[in-house]
Structure 1
Amino acid sequence: MADPSEHGRWRDLDKLLLRPGNLVGPNFEPGPDLRADLQAYVKVLVVGAGGLGCELLKDLALSGFRNLHVIDMDRIEVSNLNRQFLFRLEDVGKPKAEVAAKRVMERVGGVNIIPHFCRIEDKDLDFYSDFNIIALGLDSIEARSYINAVACSFLDYDSEDNPLEETIKPMVDGGTEGFKGHARVILPGITPCFECTIWLFPPQVKFPLCTLAETPRTAAHCIEYAHLIKWGEVHSGKTFDADDPEHMQWVYSEALKRAELFGISGVTYSLTQGVVKNIIPAIASTNAIISAACALEALKIATGCSKTLSNYLTYNGLAGLHTKVTEFIKEKDCLACGPGVLIELDTLITLQKFMELLGEHPGLLLSKPSVTYRGKNLYMQAPAVLEEMTRPNLQQPLFNLMGKVPKDVIHVNGTTLTNGKKTSCLRKLRVVFKGIVDGVVDMDTAGGA
């Protein structure tokens, strides 16, 4: 498909970027260079290449973004084809990220999309730090939480606990469930992050094992019986892989037998996938609407052509059409995006001495603390086996245990007195080491323990 002239192609975009207005962002500077900068320098990562991710890639490419990456670990299945419009029957079995990137580049001239067929956990922090905006098209709470933690890890605060603007990694998050959906803007340190509003997501449905084993009443009960009970009985020691078609087919067949035994109808292969992988029913039109909202917010963040959403949009197309924007408030003590308690230490202070200081610090007063750094247990009070494993760290300098970084965040779990009662609490600490210049110990200023 031949591209129209550059002027005609970006006519609608230029209406937003070439003239001022009353709703623009505080740093908006209209002019022809703004579109050029958007296309040349802004890098966006799309996380997920499913129903919402396909729409996001298309919308971002058509909105002037030319430097895009997409990451997804899944391969295309037949059941994806009814709503993930970038895929065709001949693509079944191929990586979603690779096919989605190829299809958008075929239709939108000038855009460059780099696919990553892997788990989001396989990429290091340097990979994520390279992007100006992260757009989420996920259907998993765990995946959202992981990306949120990554984005918040770049956040740094000044001495007055104000977030440093250059360390804020903007995220645009979308989600759909049938005829309902949401779009939100997350500016870590300014707006609520994912963990600040984790209560917005309902708990996942869990079935009692006794119901699955003794008195199944629904098709989902039969499927979960085959998945959680029967698989282990037949395949002792073999891990079930939800992305393996043969494993899924086996669960489907066993669920059918279970359903016939109890006179239950409704077990289908599609439902089996949905129950086992916790897939929420998706509708193409909902994905398109939510993606449009997310792409527009990404454009606002990148250019300042309008104030961003503040900060959570909900959509309901079940009966007519209803949208609403709610401004949620950031949790001051959020363990992901909150500033945490600032502690300045000498480079030679041991982990044991550091733990003693936690009990003396007026903002903490923690006793019997367990210390975690980037998911690694530095010292655990319990259980006994972990205490024994981490005990040798007590005599090590904390600076060494943290990889000799000049400053970073650690988490501490301990007990404190609240209204005369001992309560367990988790605290986020910003540890800064004295006498560190560009990651090197300055021996003139570094003190001892």
Structure 2
Amino acid sequence: METDSVSSSTRRQWNHLNKVLSRTGPFVQAGFDVTAGLTVLQEAKILVVGAGGLGCEMLKDLAMMGFVDIHVIDCDTIEISNLNRQFLFRTKDVGRSKAVVAAEFINKRVAGCNVTAHFCKIEDKDPEFYYQFNVIVSGLDAIGPRRWLNTMLFGLLQPSSEMNPAEMINIIPLVDGGTEGFKGNLRVIIPSHADYPCVECMLDLYPPQITYPLCTLTHRPRLPEHCIEYVKLIQWNRDNPFGEVELDGDDPTHLQWVYERAMERATEFGIESVTYRLTQGVVKHIIPAVASTNATIAAACCTEVFKLMTAAAPFLNNYLVLNNSDGIYTYTYAAERKRDCKICGTLPIPLKISSKKLSLNDLIDQLVSDYQMAKENISIRTIMKNGSDQTLYMASLAEQTSLNLTKTLPQLMIDDGQLIVVIDNHLMKKFVINYV
């Protein structure tokens, strides 16, 4: 009879992994527990962000690696064009949620694995949702959502104590993969770790989006992409086909309208090859995907998740590049954190104040709006010129400090260039006040 949480059948199924986890060696890291074995995988809770080309591969790899509690979040539905590389989907699934179908497939195929689907945008979930996971692995196809997720994870950090505010808890690592045709990359982000920069620090490493001169779009289109961009940037806002709403690349009715108008413009200038698929790619900035690149990057991502959860080997430090364009070439290097990064940097952030009549309450509202702080948890103190500090407001002592909320910053002795420290339960930041 089994005496622990891992059954004999499970041991046989994951025997190759059990050999790695039940033996020590020269590469194990601090925290490696030779007695834990497969239990560490059984108890881990992993979130996969995106159920597209990378996400399908990640779900398959994690399930086959022994993880049993996996969540997947994606707001897209399945299209015919997905089927050539997103292998968890079939023709009958077209129009259904990617997250739901992917979860159903893995749950049916891998015994003991429980994948929970979330059919929504990542922005629809609150901090408590992300707080429950041990590691988050991302296969997103745009920079914007990556930046949002990065900010969310750094927002979850909390000082371990008032006596030691620099030491953080609630650290959830992010393993972020991306592909472009035959090229791919992977980065490991560990919030609060000095050797691991965040997404904001590495924005320069993302390829720039293709742009076209406005004069070309308006007067001399030569490519089918020019016609689509013209409709997207100019004609949509001019004609307001669905009222004054933003163009939604995930809305089939919006895409169909753009496609038809782009066809009309292409015919006018004698341009061929405007297709619905190309229209979708231009509107959503989609770069053609290659299944082998997705598989390679996803495997590398899941290996990092395995190492982060088990400490069986050193983590990636901290950026990997794959290039399959000319042969197969990969290398890693340690990207550096930017000291002035507004998310993870150690230097104070310049905070521009438009008026000296701004009250402390107005300042808090600005911080809540610009830095996703929680007003009900916030506390502010200022560092005086003599090095001493003065508490201006503390949510937990609202009764004693609320009188300061209506006072202007000069009344609170906050001068131009003054350093203030802002702490809430999710973020600690230093700001330098600059009156403009």
TM-score by length of structure 2 reads 0.79
Structure 1 Cα separation of the partners of residues 231 and 392 of structure 2: 57
Question: Deviations 1:148-194 (Å, cap 9, x if unpaired)?
Answer: 00001122457677442x33210000000001001111001211010
Question: Judging changes above 3 Å, is the alpha-carbon distance between structure 1 residues 177 and 408 closer, same or farther for their aligned structure 2 residues?
Answer: farther
User: What is aligned with 1:108?
Assistant: 110
Deviation at 1:11, TM superposition (A): 1.5
Aligned pairs, number: 380
The amino acid that maps onto 1:117 is F
Question: Judging changes above 3 Å, is the alpha-carbon distance between structure 1 residues 304 and 447 closer, same or farther for their aligned structure 2 residues?
Answer: farther
Structure 2 Cα separation of the partners of residues 440 and 125 of structure 1: 20
Question: Deviations 1:121-149 (Å, cap 9, x if unpaired)?
Answer: 11111111111111111011000000000
Residue 76 of structure 1 pairs with residue 32 of structure 2: no
> Counterparts of 1:267-282 in structure 2 under 5 Å?
267-282=274-289
User: What is aligned with 1:8?
Assistant: 12
Structure 2 Cα separation of the partners of residues 34 and 316 of structure 1: 35
> Counterparts of 1:258-407 in structure 2 under 5 Å?
258-339=265-346, 341=348, 352=359, 372-375=366-369, 403-405=375-377, 407=379
State whether residues 381 and 392 of structure 2, in contact with CA within 8 Å, keep that contact through their aligned partners in structure 1.
no
* 3-state SS of 2:259 partner: helix
State whether residues 149 and 336 of structure 1, in contact with CA within 8 Å, keep that contact through their aligned partners in structure 2.
yes
The amino acid that maps onto 1:405 is N
Structure 2 Cα separation of the partners of residues 163 and 432 of structure 1: 21
Structure 1 Cα separation of the partners of residues 134 and 330 of structure 2: 28
Structure 2 Cα separation of the partners of residues 83 and 111 of structure 1: 23
Structure 2 Cα separation of the partners of residues 330 and 311 of structure 1: 11
Q: Which runs of 5+ in 2 are unaligned?
A: 1-6, 350-356, 383-388, 405-411, 413-436
The amino acid that maps onto 1:181 is G
User: What is aligned with 1:389?
Assistant: none
The amino acid that maps onto 1:54 is C
State whether residues 181 and 288 of structure 2, in contact with CA within 8 Å, keep that contact through their aligned partners in structure 1.
yes
User: What is aligned with 2:432?
Assistant: none
User: What is aligned with 1:199?
Assistant: 204
* 3-state SS of 1:68 partner: strand
* 3-state SS of 1:16 partner: helix
* 3-state SS of 1:300 partner: helix
User: What is aligned with 1:382?
Assistant: none
Deviation at 1:88, TM superposition (A): 0.7
* 3-state SS of 1:173 partner: strand
Deviation at 1:199, TM superposition (A): 0.9
User: What is aligned with 1:18?
Assistant: 22
The amino acid that maps onto 2:184 is G
User: What is aligned with 1:212?
Assistant: 217
Structure 2 Cα separation of the partners of residues 114 and 375 of structure 1: 32
- Give the one of 249, 265, 271 matched to 1:242: 249
The amino acid that maps onto 2:25 is G
State whether residues 380 and 391 of structure 2, in contact with CA within 8 Å, keep that contact through their aligned partners in structure 1.
no
Question: Deviations 1:219-278 (Å, cap 9, x if unpaired)?
Answer: 110111222233334435343332222321222222223223222233222111110111
Question: Judging changes above 3 Å, is the alpha-carbon distance between structure 1 residues 185 and 282 closer, same or farther for their aligned structure 2 residues?
Answer: same
Deviation at 1:442, TM superposition (A): 8.7
User: What is aligned with 2:235?
Assistant: 230
Question: Judging changes above 3 Å, is the alpha-carbon distance between structure 1 residues 160 and 444 closer, same or farther for their aligned structure 2 residues?
Answer: closer
User: What is aligned with 1:184?
Assistant: 187
Q: Which moved more, 1:224-233 or 1:154-163?
A: 154-163
User: What is aligned with 1:388?
Assistant: none
- Percent of pairs identical after alignment? 46
Structure 1 Cα separation of the partners of residues 134 and 374 of structure 2: 27
The amino acid that maps onto 2:18 is D
> Counterparts of 1:62-101 in structure 2 under 5 Å?
62-101=64-103
Structure 1 Cα separation of the partners of residues 48 and 381 of structure 2: 27
Q: What is the Cα-based RMSD across aligned positions, in Å? A: 3.2
The amino acid that maps onto 2:236 is W
Deviation at 1:330, TM superposition (A): 1.4
Deviation at 1:301, TM superposition (A): 0.5
Question: Judging changes above 3 Å, is the alpha-carbon distance between structure 1 residues 290 and 402 closer, same or farther for their aligned structure 2 residues?
Answer: closer
User: What is aligned with 1:38?
Assistant: 41
* 3-state SS of 1:126 partner: helix
Q: Which moved more, 1:311-320 or 1:149-158?
A: 149-158
* 3-state SS of 1:374 partner: helix
Question: Judging changes above 3 Å, is the alpha-carbon distance between structure 1 residues 95 and 300 closer, same or farther for their aligned structure 2 residues?
Answer: same
* 3-state SS of 1:34 partner: coil
The amino acid that maps onto 1:441 is L
State whether residues 364 and 375 of structure 2, in contact with CA within 8 Å, keep that contact through their aligned partners in structure 1.
no
State whether residues 371 and 377 of structure 1, in contact with CA within 8 Å, keep that contact through their aligned partners in structure 2.
no
Structure 1 Cα separation of the partners of residues 222 and 240 of structure 2: 25
Q: Which moved more, 1:244-253 or 1:289-298?
A: 244-253
* 3-state SS of 1:335 partner: coil
Question: Deviations 1:360-395 (Å, cap 9, x if unpaired)?
Answer: xxxxxxxxx9972232599xxxxxxxxxxxxxxxxx
State whether residues 393 and 401 of structure 2, in contact with CA within 8 Å, keep that contact through their aligned partners in structure 1.
yes
Question: Judging changes above 3 Å, is the alpha-carbon distance between structure 1 residues 377 and 172 closer, same or farther for their aligned structure 2 residues?
Answer: closer
The amino acid that maps onto 1:25 is Q
State whether residues 161 and 339 of structure 1, in contact with CA within 8 Å, keep that contact through their aligned partners in structure 2.
no
* 3-state SS of 1:375 partner: helix
The amino acid that maps onto 1:324 is Y
- Give the one of 101, 125, 132 matched to 2:134: 132
User: What is aligned with 2:408?
Assistant: none
Q: Which runs of 5+ in 1 are unaligned?
A: 343-349, 356-368, 379-400, 411-430
Structure 2 Cα separation of the partners of residues 297 and 289 of structure 1: 13
- Give the one of 28, 33, 44 matched to 1:29: 33
